[in-house]
Amino acid sequence: MNKKKLRLLPLCLMLALLAGGCAGTQNAEVAEAPPAKEAAQKTEPLVYEGEIAGVSERAKTISITVGKGEQAKVMMVKFDDKTKGVNNAAKGRAVKIAYEMRDKDAFATDVQLKLAKLPPGTSEIKTPELQKLINDKAPIYLVDSRPLMRYNQSHLPDAHSIPVPLLEEKKGEVLPKNKDIPLVFYCGGPT
């Protein structure tokens, strides 16, 4: 039994690469096919990280967008009763999906939410406090980090639109000169 698995492994990995076509994407980590004998111990787990593009209960299938911008690709994995964390798979959520190849199909083994982590030296603000600061017209600089389209449609009172790529490019030019002013960043939610 074990031997058979070992022999099949390189084939499965190759199929993973072919079926997924994800060798070039940034976030998808696909293990290279190592020599068969070492494969069992050294294979990195197969993982997709990104935003859920769709979930079908009927087809028992999850689609996930991996990679950024031009390189973004939507990958499909199946799930079954053994898949952990299927409840975490809802459209728009950022998740990490561990999967394995069974024959030609990728099967999710575990779906985990990717919760945003606060960078060191920053702190979280909750709705009531932010509401008070805005109502009191406190001297804060509120930044909407989402793409401009989303800002145009609906943004918080007096928020400034600075999408992440713009901040990466222009750096301090698009932020206030006063480095001690309270900056508050928000986007489309915690995942």
Q: Using CB under 8 A, list all residues that contact another protein.
A: 19, 21, 53-56, 58-61, 63, 73-74, 76, 78, 104-105, 116-127, 130-131, 143-146, 150-157, 162-164, 167-168, 171-172, 175, 179-190
CB of 35 to another protein, least distance (A): 27
Question: Which residues, 6 or more positions from 90, have their beta carbon under 8 angstroms from its beta carbon?
Answer: 52, 55
Amino acid code (one letter) for 44: E
Q: Which is nearer to another protein, 31 or 175 (CB)?
A: 175
CB of 58 to another protein, least distance (A): 6
d(CA 13, CA 31): 7
Do the bridges between strand 183-186 and strand 141-144 make them parallel or antiparallel, or are there none, so unpaired? parallel
Amino acid code (one letter) for 187: C
Q: Which is nearer to another protein, 8 or 184 (CB)?
A: 184
The dihedrals phi and psi of 110, each to the nearest 5 degrees, come to: -155, 130
CB of 71 to another protein, least distance (A): 12
**Tokens read off for 16:** 């993973």
DSSP 112: E
CB of 116 to another protein, least distance (A): 5
CB of 37 to another protein, least distance (A): 29
Q: Which is nearer to another protein, 40 or 116 (CB)?
A: 116
Q: Which is nearer to another protein, 110 or 144 (CB)?
A: 144
Amino acid code (one letter) for 145: S
Question: Which residues, 6 or more positions from 42, have their beta carbon under 8 angstroms from its beta carbon?
Answer: 34
Q: Which is nearer to another protein, 45 or 152 (CB)?
A: 152
HSE-CB at 35 with a 13 A cutoff on CA atoms is 2
